[in-house]
Amino acid sequence: MASESLHDLERPAPEAAPERRTGSADQLVIACGALAREILALIRLNGWTHLDLTCLPAELHNRPEKIPERVREKIRANRDRYARIWIGYADCGTGGALDRVLAEEGGERLAGPHCYAFFAGQPDFEALHEAEPGTFYLTDYLARHFETLVVKGMKLDRHPELLSMMFGNYTRLVYLAQIDDPALDAAAQAAAERLGLAYEKRRTGYGELADFLAETAPT
């Protein structure tokens, strides 16, 4: 698959892993730090007082083999405090290892292979990929941190000759936008220009992430 993912990058994401602990919530989401902003926005928008959030650093995508055991540690550290724990990760490059941990420890994760798929929706992402396998994807998080994660992370700032080597087989950049933000739009377009790719924006909103979190709501 030609599409780029965070675990191919070398530098850590420039945000700490946040938490939201209310002291009254009975369910916990253990999530990737790259999803923290979106999850917190959904919690606020829906007035979900039953959910707490704790995040692992987004930089774990650089070493996806470490994600399953770090999730296991979080589950064990919090199991006695919550009636149910949800996992704000897709497979994220773990090759099924995360699912094996969840089968042992309990917990339901986001469906699909990565955040591009669950933001776009699985069928729509598959259609995007089938239409043009040579696609580089951005989310809001990646658009916001493109300079750090892609340009510096892939050493394109120091070795511009690597650009054609790394992106020569790509033809377009698709920005999967969670929110309408002119600054992020401009950043994504600038990223496409920097990589020499055609630009396309798809407004996905929170996609299947919203559906996943809605399942936690009390009935």
Lowest-confidence segment of 56-65, 82-91, 139-148 by average pLDDT: 56-65
Distance CA 118, CA 113 (A): 8
16 pLDDT exceeds 80?
A: no
* pTM confidence score: 0.86
Taking only the tens place, the pLDDT of each residue in 65-76 is: 999 999 999 999
* 201-212: average pLDDT: 97
Contact criterion met (CB below 8 Å) for 29 and 17: no
Q: What is the amino acid identity at position 111?
A: A
* 197-219: average pLDDT: 95
Hey, what long-range contacts does 177-186 have (CB within 8 A, 24 or more apart)?
177/140, 177/143, 177/201, 177/202, 177/203, 177/204, 178/38, 178/119, 178/139, 178/140, 178/204, 178/205, 178/206, 178/207, 179/41, 179/140, 179/205, 181/140, 184/140, 184/143, 184/144
Distance CA 28, CA 164 (A): 43
Tell me the domain boundaries of the chain.
Answer: 8-113+208-214, 116-203
10 pLDDT exceeds 60?
A: no
pLDDT category of residue 206 using cuts at 50, 70 and 90:
very high
Taking only the tens place, the pLDDT of each residue in 162-191 is: 899 889 999 999 999 999 999 999 999 999
Q: Choose the CATH number for 8-113+208-214 among 3.30.300, 1.25.40, 3.30.1340, 3.40.50.
A: 3.40.50
Angle made by CA atoms 51, 33, 40, in degrees to the nearest 5: 35
Question: Higher confidence at residue 61 or residue 110?
Answer: 110
Predicted confidence at residue 153, as pLDDT, reads 84
Taking only the tens place, the pLDDT of each residue in 123-166 is: 999 999 999 999 999 999 999 999 988 998 888 999 998 899 88
Taking only the tens place, the pLDDT of each residue in 39-58 is: 999 999 999 999 999 999 98
Distance CA 138, CA 4 (A): 9
2 pLDDT exceeds 60?
A: no
